[in-house]
Structure 1
């Protein structure tokens, strides 16, 4: 073997490792908001609904960008598109770190939301540079490192915010993103674009982006500001019209953004439905727990600051990373249906128990760990199954759709949880009543139990 080939292989391994490091940094940048959300609400003078918007602004952009990024990566090469998107993420991180108030912080979060597109692009690169067996493992590891970055972000958010400033929470991960992107750009070979019979389906991209953006912003308005029934109906009609237009365009396009025949495959539409249910339940738990930790200790809460909240959320972040890492392997060894049923039972039992048992910190810590583990295993198992059920030319589109489904589910859960807390807030103190948290945990349990029904209805697809 020539020296040049040896150097090429070594550089490729280093570059794949840098992809993992980039996922770690992006996960940290995304996760710093969760434990610091009560602090940000106090600093910015906003309530639970607007606080949820700070976290979900990133997810709104992610919902729009993920499928588009996957399509562009399939067409033009994952590396080229990834480097461009990371430039936008870095700009958003810088903007958030110098934000003087809520509007600029939201804009920074919107730009950082482009990071969600890094996942399908990383899967494209892994799939093209590794054999199928190794690619499955690598996809799980990339997802695990993204979730593991959440562990890092959760752990350091408190000390950084309390000893430096909340702006530094965004600045430090942004520096790492810039460094890791530079390593990937320098060492990873350019991946050849997939052959295509036509150009980019821009009308399809615009309509899909418009559908997702309208849905996400409408969700924030309906659950946060409380739109009247007529306004909520108008949002629903707009989403339905945009979605119908997208389907019509895709059916007629010579080179569609998404081949609708893919959506007809049980492996994909089962994965989308189940991912949305699983992540909605988890999104509610992930939002409610930090809020409960921050409630003053002279009532039913714990009166914790950002550092204390981060430490108590840390086991859950670790469990989520473990779940993402082993999801594909667990599905292969135990069967996808078994993994999903067990995960749904664990999450439902845990959240129903939380509705009445939430007076000790260990109860909440254990609940976060169990629900994060179940959600990580289930969603990653669904993603790897769908990604390896299609050709390499469709990997970016399929994984992008599943990533955006995951994002929408978490955002939906967070906004529903915020709406329940706002509805149950004391008019004098502004603090939510304990019953609002109990209701939120019970609703999360019902949503999780719904996935059992979905699994049963689609059992023939699992056998296939």
Structure 2
């Protein structure tokens, strides 16, 4: 009798690469929408009169809900079927897109983005959680690279198609474009993706979910409001305190749970923890960059929405090259060296970008943007694969949910913190001398608003001051991004496990989790 191992059975199933296509279609929906919104924000700020803080909320409403619900979403997939929950997430994403297209103001857009965040929370971890059951460890790096390349492909397509839509239609069209994308994703999941589940997975804890959502929401709200109100404002301090207490309560509750939603045994495992931290800090940097770049390209350099999308291509090109090349480089030098080097490249690009001036022009921007893409690709792909490699198969959904939750928390904090740093620096540098109080207040909301006020007042000085103030704020953001990437590189070089340790960790983690689960029962 011939014994067939799990890995041999996986290799014989040729449908697994077609199934990967279903996951790619699902991830395209998320990446496509995120980059479209970044390009659309300046247009929406002009048409809806949105301040920088309101723009941050249009971006962060999605990210905060996304991060808060990803852990329970992963558990729902483990328990009731990952394909079923993935299709449900795509349906919710579609509903949110329709609400956004029909929204009549800033509040409607924020609500729509929150609904889309619920759908995204189901899509992201479940698309990743099926990889360990579909592919062998040798193939998984390639599969992660394919998904990363798909996400990278969606990033340049989003701004280009979004820019074309904004040049020809109203801003709500950037939401409607999700309809055919979701349709493709649902069809691919139904036809190609096998159903997988783990009925023994922990149940979704409503209290822990509420603690996550409210704690993250309080922290993000405090960070966004701080530049306008002041960091010592009573409300801001109270929100920081409430957010800290709620998230501390979450950690304490999960540590006492027999089958926790937030699996602390995974965080105690060095390979998972350090790779997740690296991926999270990269998302902090990238989210901040993607928030500050479109207003610079549109308001300061004077390009339209389509031109802005096209001018983001150097970063996407560098990212796609690095995502495709990560696997052979990791095989030769090891994940620790590649992740560390990628983060150093990212730091160098951010420091180079911080030298941008009003007169630098697009050529200099294209240079450092392309380097950003290379650094991002070589750091995030091996970091995510290293984290996924440590997950036991019966914790694939909750583990990948934890990974993506922490990444999205990094993204949310990146948008909130770096956006707030930008808003404060812009407002402090903007020269509103001679303007009426109301016009001065409006001009300080954003660089887009300042240009509108300058046009109405016929003030070339205000427009020049707005450009100078924005570039100053962007330079400060890039300096912080560079420092964050450099610190991350040092942590990765010092603490990420070597190749031999990484190969042993999945088995050790699986045994640890299984023994603790058995003890709990």
TM-score by length of 2: 0.80
Moved more, 45-54 or 82-91: 45-54
User: Given that residues 90 and 182 in structure 2 are in contact (C-alpha distance below 8 angstroms), is that contact kept between their aligned partners in structure 1?
Assistant: yes
Residues 1:263 and 2:267 are matched in the alignment:
yes
Cα offset, 1:118, TM superposition: 1.4
Residues 1:134 and 2:171 are matched in the alignment:
no
Cα offset, 1:12, TM superposition: 5.8
Cα offset, 1:141, TM superposition: 1.4
Q: In 1, distance between residues paired with 2:228 and 2:413?
A: 11
Aligned to 2:479: 442
Moved more, 226-235 or 417-426: 226-235
User: Given that residues 29 and 174 in structure 1 are in contact (C-alpha distance below 8 angstroms), is that contact kept between their aligned partners in structure 2?
Assistant: no
Q: Report the 3-state secondary structure (helix = DSSP H, G, I; strand = E; otherwise coil) of the residue aligned with 1:193.
A: coil
Q: Report the 3-state secondary structure (helix = DSSP H, G, I; strand = E; otherwise coil) of the residue aligned with 2:53.
A: helix
- Highest CA radius of gyration, 1 or 2? 2
Q: In 2, distance between residues paired with 1:397 and 1:57?
A: 23
Q: Report the 3-state secondary structure (helix = DSSP H, G, I; strand = E; otherwise coil) of the residue aligned with 2:195.
A: coil
User: Given that residues 346 and 371 in structure 2 are in contact (C-alpha distance below 8 angstroms), is that contact kept between their aligned partners in structure 1?
Assistant: yes
Cα offset, 1:321, TM superposition: 3.8
Q: Report the 3-state secondary structure (helix = DSSP H, G, I; strand = E; otherwise coil) of the residue aligned with 1:166.
A: coil
Aligned to 1:394: 395
Moved more, 77-86 or 336-345: 336-345
Q: Report the 3-state secondary structure (helix = DSSP H, G, I; strand = E; otherwise coil) of the residue aligned with 2:177.
A: helix
Q: Structure 1 residues 79 and 224, CA, compared in 2 at 3 Å: closer, same or farther?
A: farther
Q: Structure 1 residues 218 and 87, CA, compared in 2 at 3 Å: closer, same or farther?
A: farther
Q: Structure 1 residues 186 and 223, CA, compared in 2 at 3 Å: closer, same or farther?
A: farther
Q: Structure 1 residues 459 and 119, CA, compared in 2 at 3 Å: closer, same or farther?
A: closer
User: Given that residues 345 and 374 in structure 2 are in contact (C-alpha distance below 8 angstroms), is that contact kept between their aligned partners in structure 1?
Assistant: no
Q: Structure 1 residues 435 and 213, CA, compared in 2 at 3 Å: closer, same or farther?
A: closer
* Alignment of structure 1 residues 333-412 onto 2, 5 Å: 333-358=332-357, 359-412=360-413
Q: Structure 1 residues 387 and 175, CA, compared in 2 at 3 Å: closer, same or farther?
A: same
Q: Report the 3-state secondary structure (helix = DSSP H, G, I; strand = E; otherwise coil) of the residue aligned with 1:356.
A: coil
Q: In 2, distance between residues paired with 1:147 and 1:194?
A: 34
Q: Report the 3-state secondary structure (helix = DSSP H, G, I; strand = E; otherwise coil) of the residue aligned with 1:32.
A: helix
User: Given that residues 330 and 381 in structure 1 are in contact (C-alpha distance below 8 angstroms), is that contact kept between their aligned partners in structure 2?
Assistant: no
Q: Structure 1 residues 306 and 239, CA, compared in 2 at 3 Å: closer, same or farther?
A: same
User: Given that residues 207 and 243 in structure 1 are in contact (C-alpha distance below 8 angstroms), is that contact kept between their aligned partners in structure 2?
Assistant: yes
Q: Report the 3-state secondary structure (helix = DSSP H, G, I; strand = E; otherwise coil) of the residue aligned with 2:312.
A: helix
* Alignment of structure 1 residues 230-241 onto 2, 5 Å: 230-241=234-245
Among candidates 180, 184, 194, match of residue 175 of structure 1 = 180
Q: Structure 1 residues 332 and 399, CA, compared in 2 at 3 Å: closer, same or farther?
A: farther
Aligned to 1:115: 120
Aligned to 2:423: 422
Residues 1:165 and 2:170 are matched in the alignment:
yes
Cα offset, 1:326, TM superposition: 4.3
Q: In 2, distance between residues paired with 1:409 and 1:346?
A: 19
Which string of whole-angstrom CA distances, capped at 9 and with x for unpartnered residues, describes residues 405-440 of structure 1?
Answer: 222223322233322332223244443413222222
User: Given that residues 15 and 187 in structure 1 are in contact (C-alpha distance below 8 angstroms), is that contact kept between their aligned partners in structure 2?
Assistant: yes
User: Given that residues 328 and 384 in structure 1 are in contact (C-alpha distance below 8 angstroms), is that contact kept between their aligned partners in structure 2?
Assistant: no
Aligned to 2:69: 65
Cα offset, 1:344, TM superposition: 2.4
Q: In 1, distance between residues paired with 2:320 and 2:224?
A: 28
Cα offset, 1:327, TM superposition: 4.1
User: Given that residues 67 and 117 in structure 1 are in contact (C-alpha distance below 8 angstroms), is that contact kept between their aligned partners in structure 2?
Assistant: no
Cα offset, 1:215, TM superposition: 3.0
Aligned to 2:189: 184
Equivalenced residues, count: 452
Q: Structure 1 residues 375 and 356, CA, compared in 2 at 3 Å: closer, same or farther?
A: same
Aligned to 1:309: 308
* Alignment of structure 1 residues 185-224 onto 2, 5 Å: 185-196=190-201, 199-222=203-226
Cα offset, 1:9, TM superposition: 5.9
Which string of whole-angstrom CA distances, capped at 9 and with x for unpartnered residues, describes residues 114-135 of structure 1?
Answer: 3143122012223223333323
Q: In 2, distance between residues paired with 1:307 and 1:73?
A: 38
How much is the aligned-residue C-alpha RMSD, in angstroms? 2.6
User: Given that residues 81 and 196 in structure 2 are in contact (C-alpha distance below 8 angstroms), is that contact kept between their aligned partners in structure 1?
Assistant: yes
Aligned to 1:298: none
Q: Report the 3-state secondary structure (helix = DSSP H, G, I; strand = E; otherwise coil) of the residue aligned with 1:303.
A: coil
Aligned to 2:435: none
Residues 1:91 and 2:95 are matched in the alignment:
yes
User: Given that residues 271 and 496 in structure 2 are in contact (C-alpha distance below 8 angstroms), is that contact kept between their aligned partners in structure 1?
Assistant: no
TM-score by length of 1: 0.89
Structure 1 alignment gaps of length 5 or more? 1-7, 296-300
Which string of whole-angstrom CA distances, capped at 9 and with x for unpartnered residues, describes residues 313-340 of structure 1?
Answer: 1221233344445445543432222112
Aligned to 2:281: 277
Structure 2 alignment gaps of length 5 or more? 1-11, 433-439, 448-465, 502-521
Q: Structure 1 residues 293 and 262, CA, compared in 2 at 3 Å: closer, same or farther?
A: same
Q: Structure 1 residues 458 and 15, CA, compared in 2 at 3 Å: closer, same or farther?
A: closer
Q: In 2, distance between residues paired with 1:454 and 1:9?
A: 39
User: Given that residues 14 and 187 in structure 1 are in contact (C-alpha distance below 8 angstroms), is that contact kept between their aligned partners in structure 2?
Assistant: yes
User: Given that residues 119 and 143 in structure 1 are in contact (C-alpha distance below 8 angstroms), is that contact kept between their aligned partners in structure 2?
Assistant: no
Q: Structure 1 residues 462 and 44, CA, compared in 2 at 3 Å: closer, same or farther?
A: farther
Aligned to 2:451: none
Q: Report the 3-state secondary structure (helix = DSSP H, G, I; strand = E; otherwise coil) of the residue aligned with 2:172.
A: helix
Cα offset, 1:360, TM superposition: 1.8
